[in-house]
Amino acid sequence: MSAAGRTAPAGRSPLRRRVEHMAAAGVVVSTPLHMAGISIVLVSMGMIVSGLVGAITDGQQVVAIVGAGAATGVAGLMVWRFTSLPGEVSHTSALATVAWSWVAVSVAGSVPFLTTHAFDTPLDALFESVSGFTCSGSTLFDSSGLDGMKGLDELPKGLLFWRQMTQWFGGMGMVVLAVAVLPLLGVGGLELISAEAPGEGADKLAPRVSETAKRLWTVYGVITVLTTISLMVVGMNLFDAVAHAFTAVSTGGFSPFPNSIGDQSLGVEIVLEWWMVISAMNFNLHWFFLGERHFRPYRESWELRIFLKALLVGVILVTLFNTRSGMPFPTALRDSAFNVITLGTSTGYGTANFVTWSAAPQLVLFMFMITGAMTGSTSGGIKMLRVAVLAKHAFRGIRLARQPHAVLPIRRYGESIPESVVSRMAGFVLLYFLLALVGALLIVVIGLGPTVNSNAIVTSVGASVSALGNMGPGFGAAGPADSFAVFNPAGRVLVMVLMLIGRLEVFPVLLMFAAMTKSLRRRA
């Protein structure tokens, strides 16, 4: 799942000697498989913990969950033992590893859903697992009972806890990915937030990632604990507080409550809003704050200012639109604020069913679904940094149109942004839009179930954008009050693929496919 500090230095440790011996004996040398094995082992430990939690709370189907954990643990250990890392990690290999690990972990994570008979088909279990590890939050469990799926209140607590844990793990991996791995590999222009030039960092990837991971996971843990405590202060019991802390810090959005946050008090909503925004900020900022105890990193961050301003404008606009369409002001403010923040941070908790709102507030929410939050966090979407850089680029173009020979670099922090980075960001955004369009088209043609009729386009475009941005709820027939069960199996596969592509910032998954087809062609 993440290239955590497992790459021990080439020293005399017995483990390393064993591994080298096995490599010499003809064991498979493959970075993706090795990393996948490690990740699966970690994930299986989480399953066992969930099983124990289930035993403590309601004691249902504990054996199924713990058994699933044990089985996947064993499988992961086997893969780990019989594979090893090559000496060097190439650029493409690193990206492919990331993609494969996520896929492998999602497959492993779907096992508890099957052993507890929460789903009938492996595909549905895989969907829920993918939605977990990509921190999306789209669910197939249907509390209204219309689509033939189980409701959340029928599931054992252990399984519910595992569901929350999948997002927690997904967030852990994502944070390291977003802060350390992807900027070093120069994905989508993110090298802007790293101090090094992309491409050079590939050989320094492993040690750099391990030191960064420890830092980030400390922040992650601190936020989780603080969220749990503050939720308990506003009235949740321990189980619920931990469950929501897991999905708030990872900006995932799963909730064990059938109605998500819809029935909770205002206090809970406000606490969650606060922690969602914190989790959607660049974790580097939080690390510096914890170290220096100074607010300076927050004040200096250009992207943070833009992110917060965007949220503010969004809340104002949506509240305005809702008030003018007849909602009483207090409800409008409360619901608009929560929904703008939850979608602007790509979390996806549900309160009001915004699908019944007017078109204008829904369009504002749709825009937030596309833009996402800050880089270096667990959130999805295009990220505010890219939006800001490209917007500045466009307005600079307007001034150039009037004065063609002016030299106007884009300024940020006093340095100018190189054209190559702008170009890379543009390429990323274009690819993102293209994938969203193609995804929407495929979904509307082959992916919709029989119950969707009049708002087919809205549902498919909404689902495509939501999946790509790892938001959670969709629009139309797949809104916060419904589930993604309105999509037929083909549609669910499409949504899953989009979720994975979006989580990994597009390029790793595409390179994974490219590498697969290339190796197939070579073998053939």
Partner 1 sequence: MSGSAHRVPWGQKAAPRGRYDIGADFRAERTRWVSAPAALSSRVIGICGLGAALASLIDLAYGAHAALALAILALGALAVGFAGMRGCRFPPSIRSGSLLTTVGVAWLAAIVFSTLVYVATRATARVDDALFESVAGFTTTALSVMDNEGLEDTAKGVLFWRALTQWFGGFGALITFVVALPFLGVGDPTEPVESRSTARSTNLLAPQARRRVKRFASVYLGLSGIGVLLFLGGGMSPFDAVTYAFTTVSTGGFANHEGSIGFFESPALEWFAIAGMLLAGANFALLWSAVRGRTHTRLLESFELRAYLGLIGAASGALLLFNASGAGFSARTVRQTVFTVVSLVSTTGHHLDDWTAWKAGGQLVLLMLMGVGAMSGSAGGGFRILRVLVLISLIRRELARQVHTHSVMVVRLGRQVIDEGVIGRMVGHMVLHTLAVAGGAIAIAAFYLGGAEPDRRLLTALSGAVSALSTTGPALEGLGPTTSVLDLPAGARAVLAALMLGGRLAFYPILAIVEAARVGSRAARRSLRRRRLRLIRR
Binding site for partner 1 (CB under 8 A): 91-92, 95, 185-187, 198-199, 317, 321, 324-326, 355-360, 362-364, 367, 390-391, 393-394, 396-405, 419, 422-424, 426-428, 430-431, 434, 437, 440-441, 444-445, 448, 454-458, 460-461, 475-476, 507, 510-511
Shortest separation between residue 359's beta carbon and partner 1, angstroms: 4
Measured CA distances, 402 to 226, 262, 390, 398 (Å): 52, 52, 19, 7
For partner 1, which is the closer residue by CB, 232 or 317?
317
Return the closest-CA partner of residue 227 out of 307, 303, 168.
Answer: 168
Nearer to partner 1, 90 or 121 (CB): 90
CB 216 within 8 A of CB 244: no
Residue closer to partner 1 (CB basis): 95 or 281: 95
Count of other CB atoms within 10 angstroms of residue 473:
31
Q: Which is nearer to partner 1, 266 or 391 (CB)?
A: 391
- Measured from the CB atom, the residue of 14 and 454 that comes closer to partner 1 is 454
Task: Give whichever of 133 and 368 is closer to partner 1, judged by the CB atom.
Answer: 368
The C-alpha atoms of residue 303 and residue 374 are separated, in whole angstroms, by: 7
Shortest Å, Cβ 149 to partner 1: 23
DSSP structural state of residue 487? B
CB of 189 to partner 1, least distance (A): 9
- Rg (the chain; Cα; Å): 23
Instruction: Count CB atoms within 10 A of the CB of residue 454.
Output: 9
Alpha helix segments (H runs only) across 345-455: 359-371, 384-402, 419-442
Which residue number, 234 or 457, has a Cβ lying nearer to partner 1?
A: 457
What is the rounded CA–CA span in Å between residue 9 and residue 113? 38
Q: Is 77 helix (H, G, I), strand (E, B) or coil?
A: helix
Count of CA atoms in the C-beta half-sphere (13 A) of 349: 37
Quick one: CA dihedral 208, 375, 506, 256, positive or negative? positive
For the bound state, the minimum distance from the C-beta of residue 94 to partner 1, rounded and expressed in Å, comes to 11
371, 364, 365: which is closest to 391 by C-alpha?
Answer: 371
Shortest Å distance, C-beta 92 to partner 1: 6
C-beta of 427 vs 489, nearer to partner 1? 427
Shortest Å distance, C-beta 366 to partner 1:
8
Q: Is 201 helix (H, G, I), strand (E, B) or coil?
A: helix
Q: Are 35 and 81 in contact (CB under 8 A)?
A: no
Nearer to partner 1, 218 or 323 (CB): 323
User: CB 154 → partner 1: shortest distance, Å?
Assistant: 31
Tokens for 424? 């890379």
Alpha helix stretches (DSSP H) within 82-202: 91-109, 111-115, 122-133, 157-176, 182-184
Supply the minimum distance, in Å, between the C-beta of residue 416 and partner 1: 14
Instruction: Tell the smallest beta-carbon distance from residue 319 to partner 1 (Å).
Output: 12
- Give the list of residues 6+ apart from residue 415 with CB closer than 8 angstroms, or none: none
- The whole-angstrom separation of Cα 157 and Cα 235 is 19
Q: Between 240 and 482, whose beta carbon lies closer to partner 1?
A: 482
**Could you identify the residue written with the tokens 């708030």?**
248
Q: What is the DSSP string of 293-315?
A: --SHHHHH-HHHHHHHHHHHHHH
Three-state SS at 236:
coil
What's the CA gap between 435 and 446, in Å, rounded?
Answer: 16
Crossing angle between the packed helical segments 359-371 and 329-344, to the nearest 10 degrees: 20
Bridge partners for 411 per DSSP: 416
CB of 387 to partner 1, least distance (A): 9
Q: How far is the CB of 519 from partner 1 (least distance, A)?
A: 14
Nearest approach, Cβ of 332 to partner 1 (angstroms)? Answer: 12
Judged by beta carbon, residue 135 or residue 185, the one nearer partner 1 is 185
C-beta closer to partner 1: residue 101 or 322: 322
Which residue in this structure is represented by tokens 């139309």? 476
**Given the structure tokens 């601190």, which residue do they identify?**
222
With contact defined as beta carbons under 8 Å apart, do 47 and 162 qualify?
yes
Residue closer to partner 1, measured from CB, 42 or 390: 390
Instruction: Give the shortest CB-414-to-partner 1 separation in angstroms.
Output: 22
